[in-house]
Amino acid sequence: MITPFQDRFDAGRQLGARLSSYAKRGDVVVLALPRGGVPVGYEVARQLNAPLDIFLVRKLGVPGYEELAMGAIASGGARVVNEEVVEQLQIPEDVIDAATIEQQQELERREAAYRAGRPLPELKNKTVILVDDGLATGSSMRAAVQALRLLGPKAIVVAVPVGAAETCEMLQSDADDVVCLMAPGNFSAVGRWYLDFTQTSDEEVSDLLDRAAHERQVDRNAENERKLPASLE
């Protein structure tokens, strides 16, 4: 019998243990998908001694059929277009541009609220671990991977505590590595595999990012102090 996670922090600690081969590497960055992925990513980043940030994705919905994605935009100015949908529905470029402008405003508003002025970290030639609290259809994660590719990382690792087996398998063709701690056959929904699946608030996202940045700075200061005597010899 599969035991559910206590909460997202518990899931993150277990996921971080599975990702131990990425620990204490200078090229690793953990990016969490807000909001539910941030508590998971916080614990993963702590265990790997890696920086934590967010990667926001906004779907570009087809006008009148908003659930159907004609593309997506993401942090760092990345945009991907679903060419199959665009060609099939003959969507003009100006319609895509208008949707991009609208969603870009919301993306920038959320980034400003979450990051408190901190820029997106440099991702070129980095190993990026994309974290969420689970994968159902995987549409947001897939868009995130495709958008992230445009920013030039060395490798993209998708890491989640739980996901539908077919979704975890599908993402293997998009990411360089996929780590799903659990991929139960009777998946049904992400929340089913958590005892506490309370919604993560915007305030919690901001707080966890602030805490992660502060803890990284404390660790760097301590490391510099340990190196200081040797540099004075």
DSSP character string of 28-84: EEEEE-TTTHHHHHHHHHHHHT--EEE--EEEEEETTEEEEEEEEEEGGGEEEE-HH
**Backbone region of residue 107 per phi and psi (left: phi > 0; alpha: psi in -120 to 50; beta: other values):** alpha
Confidence of residue 233 (pLDDT cuts 50, 70, 90): very low
Inside any domain, residue 118? no
Q: Determine, yes or no, domain membership for 222.
A: yes
Phi, psi of 152 (to 5 degrees): 80, 30
Contacts of 232 (CB under 8 A, 6+ apart): none
Report the candidate in 109, 121, 107 with the shortest Cα–Cα distance to residue 57: 107
Q: What is the pLDDT of residue 65?
A: 86
In this prediction the pTM is 0.88
In a domain, 66, yes or no: no
Other C-beta atoms closer than 10 Å to the C-beta of 58 total 24
Pick the range with the lowest mean pLDDT from 72-81, 108-117, 221-230: 221-230
User: Does the residue 133 lie in any domain?
Assistant: yes
Domain-embedded: residue 102: no
Is residue 74 in a domain?
no
Task: Classify residue 135: in a domain, yes or no.
Answer: yes
Tokens representing 43 are 């614990």
**pLDDT tens for each residue of 183-199:** 998 899 999 999 999 99
pLDDT, position 163: 96
- Closest C-alpha among 140, 207, 148 to residue 176: 148
Query: 176 lies in a domain?
Result: yes
Tens of pLDDT, residue by residue over 25-39, are 999 999 999 999 999
Distance from C-alpha of 128 to C-alpha of 139, rounded to nearest angstrom: 18
pLDDT at residue 55 is higher than 60: yes
Picking from 74, 130, 127, 116, the residue whose alpha carbon sits closest to that of residue 213 is 116
pLDDT at 230: 54
Query: For residue 178, what are the domain limits?
Result: 8-55+123-232
Task: Assign residue 33 the CATH number of its domain.
Answer: 3.40.50.2020
Q: What is the rounded CA–CA span in Å between residue 55 and residue 161?
A: 18
With a cut of 70, say whether residue 54 has pLDDT above it: yes
Pair type for strands 57-62 and 65-74: antiparallel
- Site of tokens 């990012």: 209
Q: How many domains does the chain have?
A: 1
Q: Is a pLDDT exceeding 70 seen at residue 46?
A: yes
Average pLDDT over residues 124-146: 93
Asked if the model's pLDDT at residue 41 lies above 90, the reply is yes
- DSSP secondary structure code for residue 187 in this structure: -
For 201-227, write each residue's pLDDT tens digit: 999 999 999 999 989 888 777 777 777
Q: Looking at residue 229, what is its pLDDT?
A: 64
CB 39 within 8 A of CB 12: yes
